[in-house]
Amino acid sequence: MNTKLYEQFEDSVTQFKNKIQTDGFFVVRLQIMFWYLLIGFAIFIAFGWLLGSVTLRTVHDIAVMQSGQSVEDAFAWYHKQLIIRRYIMSALFVVSSYFFAEFALLPVRRTRDIQKRFVATVSHELRTPLTIIKNSSEIALRNSKDLSNEKAVELIKSNLEEVNRMTDTIQFLLAYSLLREQKKIPELVPISLTELIENTWPLLQKVGSEHDIVLKLSAEKAAPIKGNRVALEGMLINLVKNAIAHSPKGGTVSVCIKETGSRVQLLVTDTGSGIQKKDLPYIYEPFFRGKNEEKSEQTHNGFGLGLSIVKEVVEYHKALLRVDTSSKGTKFVITFLK
């Protein structure tokens, strides 16, 4: 019986924790409730006691100090002062609650802004390939008489490439949404970061060559860590792609794995212009793009989600994430416990 009660309690705590992590409005409700209770205590208890001790005296004292005043008059005066005090406290409570409610609703405003940017990004990313498909198809129809089999095949291939691009875009955004909603990633198992990077390296080199970036790998045979392969591969790819995107043509991106004591570190370093100091607090925010990124020709097709996904995966694996940046480049350091 005790075991069953404990399991029910554990399930309730887990559900409550998941609700806090996934339901922004539930968090806001808790915040507003907390501030209302705090304000109510401060005004109705502390401030009410202060007014009562300073401006209100007992009916007996009033009757004694004011000669010729009956106890009934003293009660009437006391009742009048009590009503005035309640009006004052009510007004203070309403005004204070309004400002604190605005403070508590800041996360909701932030979520709304993120959703707006999400819709704008999806619309932009899908509009481009759809426009290409539409224009090429219309041109082909206008010149259908001169459309040879070879040109038709090229048109189909081009349209398929754009369809694949849209599919990749949708899959990427869906994967990101699932991660943001704290959906359970499969069970963590022992994984070698060295082997994972070596398996992913050909893909990363292809991306680097497309942007004229040299990739360098220095991977020790480190001890395995507990993790999820799919999530870690996504983290690595996004981290390296981000480094490639912020390196100038002919630049270098270095990936290193080293083992120190009970920790395994993954280091990704680029030779870009670095991250502006004022942008550092926001680089893990969804859809955020600093001024350097907005001007970069290599990052105009990005979503502004790469580093946000990296942070989500790092937090899920209970690892540590650090960034060192200067005008000579940026280095991301992720530290895993064995």
Domain range annotation of the chain: 2-104, 113-180, 189-337
> Average pLDDT, stretch 294-302?
47
- Options 1.10.287.130, 2.40.30.60, 3.40.50.300, 3.40.50.2000; CATH for 113-180 is 1.10.287.130
pLDDT above 90 coverage of the chain, percent: 13
pLDDT for the residue 39: 73
Band (240; pLDDT cuts 50, 70, 90) = very high
Q: Environment class of residue 217 by beta-carbon count within 10 Å: exposed (0-12), middle (13-18) or buried (19+)? A: middle
Rounded Cα distance between 148 and 159, Å, is 16
Place of tokens 């759809």: 130
- pLDDT exceeds 50 at position 295: no
Supply the pTM of this predicted model: 0.53
Instruction: Check if the beta carbon of residue 141 is closer than 8 Å to that of residue 274.
Output: no
pLDDT for the residue 304: 66
Instruction: Tell whether domain 189-337 is in CATH 3.30.565.10.
Output: yes
Place of tokens 């983290």: 235
> Average pLDDT, stretch 229-250?
87
CA distances (Å), origin 269, targets 75, 90, 212, 313? 79, 58, 16, 19
Helix pair 24-40, 106-142: axis angle to 10 deg: 160
